[in-house]
Amino acid sequence: MEENILINEKIVDDVAVKLLQLAVTELPRDVKEALQRAYREEESEAGKTQLKAILDNMELAEKTRTPMCQDTGVIIFYVKAGAQAKGLDKIGYALRSATRRATKEVPLRPNAVDPFTQKNTGDNTGRFVPFIHWEIVPGDSVEITVMPKGGGSENVCVLGMISPGQGVKGLKKFVVDTVINAGAKPCPPNILGVAVGGGADIAMKLAKAALLRPLDEPNPNPDLAKLEKELYEAANSTGIGPMGLGGKITVLGVKVEYAHRHPASYPVAVAFQCWAARRASARISSDGKVEYLTHKVT
């Protein structure tokens, strides 16, 4: 039987380094377009100035292949592993080694700190860092997504265990209050991931993963698509604006996810992503072919 070359650690390592480099230097097309549209639509002068600076910075980062923000985040991977793919046990190791290499080569800011000793490991790896979310899917290919997640937007993520009696109304109020409390802190305009149900851990996991859905892809469920639009309009009526300096563009998009819930629980999680909404994905086929899904690679 012909050997499946997907197990090649080197391919995974190289692809992950490339993904990290792409993610921190170039925003995906949907985010770029949303920021350009935000600049056209923003009416406040202060807000427009911020968006212009964001666009200029984005172009400069792409052109010079420099990280667009000095905070290159904590590294999170999402892996969709084909059940028939061989060598899946090597992927975790390869992703850690790729993170170390990218930290030196790109470079990335070392952002993995021991919470007790406050010591920075210096290479962006540590206990559960990078964290890898695994999903087993049919097929023999492997899809890897990286999300370098900045600290400013992470610090305002909130989980609320609201009363089931309040239901969807409670959810909406919670989201509005959370956006207002966050204000300028998460470097708006933001993307919001909102998830309800599942339990405390699952709600936040779903909210964060929802940030990966492209901005131009509304929820496939029409009711949830409507809710996303409603929350988007509500957040953009707060007046917080780009960088909290006032304006109508506070969020670029809202992504809603849900899971069924315990009758007594109504967990609502709100995950924030800053304007530097960095992500990059690639698919490695069983024949070793690599296809980049979020970025053009020449």
Partner 1 sequence: MATYKLKTPISEEDTRKLKVNDIIYITGTIITARDAAHRRALEFHREKKKLPVNLQGLAVFHCGPIVKKENDKWIVVAAGPTTSTRMDLFEDEFIKNFKIRVVIGKGGMGKKTTKAMKQYGAVYGAFTGGAAVLAAKAIKNVKSVEWYDLGMPEALWVLEVEEFGPLTVAIDAHGNNLFEDVQKKVEESRQKIYQKLGV
Please report, to the nearest 10 degrees, the dihedral formed by the alpha carbons of residues 39, 45, 46, 49 taken in order.
50
Q: Residues near 24 by Cβ (< 8 Å), separated by ≥ 6? A: 67, 68, 69, 72, 73, 106, 108, 148, 278
C-alpha to C-alpha distance for 192 and 225, rounded to whole angstroms: 14
239 or 288: whose CB is closer to partner 1?
A: 239
How near is the Cβ of 51 to partner 1 at its closest, in Å?
Answer: 9
How near is the Cβ of 212 to partner 1 at its closest, in Å?
Answer: 19
Question: If residue 178 lies in a helix (H) or strand (E), which one and from where to where?
Answer: helix 167-182
Q: Within a 10 A sphere around the Cβ of 169, how many other Cβ atoms?
A: 10
84 or 155: whose CB is closer to partner 1?
A: 155
Question: If residue 232 lies in a helix (H) or strand (E), which one and from where to where?
Answer: helix 222-235
- 137 backbone φψ class: left, alpha, beta (φ>0; ψ -120 to 50): beta
Token readout for 293 is 């899904």
Q: Within a 10 A sphere around the Cβ of 113, how many other Cβ atoms?
A: 14
How near is the Cβ of 251 to partner 1 at its closest, in Å?
Answer: 13
How near is the Cβ of 288 to partner 1 at its closest, in Å?
Answer: 34
| C-alpha distance from residue 112 to each of 99, 100, 125, 150, 284 (Å) | 11, 11, 6, 12, 28
11 or 106: whose CB is closer to partner 1?
A: 106
User: Where do contacts with partner 1 occur on this chain (CB under 8 A)?
Assistant: 45-46, 49-50, 52-54, 56-57, 60-61, 64, 66-71, 107, 109, 150, 152, 169-170, 172-173, 176, 180, 183-185, 187, 230, 234, 237-241, 243-246, 274-276
How near is the Cβ of 211 to partner 1 at its closest, in Å?
Answer: 16
How near is the Cβ of 250 to partner 1 at its closest, in Å?
Answer: 9
8 or 49: whose CB is closer to partner 1?
A: 49
How near is the Cβ of 266 to partner 1 at its closest, in Å?
Answer: 14
52 or 262: whose CB is closer to partner 1?
A: 52
In the DSSP assignment, the letter for residue 76 is E
147 with 271: CB under 8 angstroms? no
137 or 180: whose CB is closer to partner 1?
A: 180
First to last CA, the chain: 33
194 with 272: CB under 8 angstroms? no
87 or 110: whose CB is closer to partner 1?
A: 110
How near is the Cβ of 209 to partner 1 at its closest, in Å?
Answer: 22
118 or 298: whose CB is closer to partner 1?
A: 118
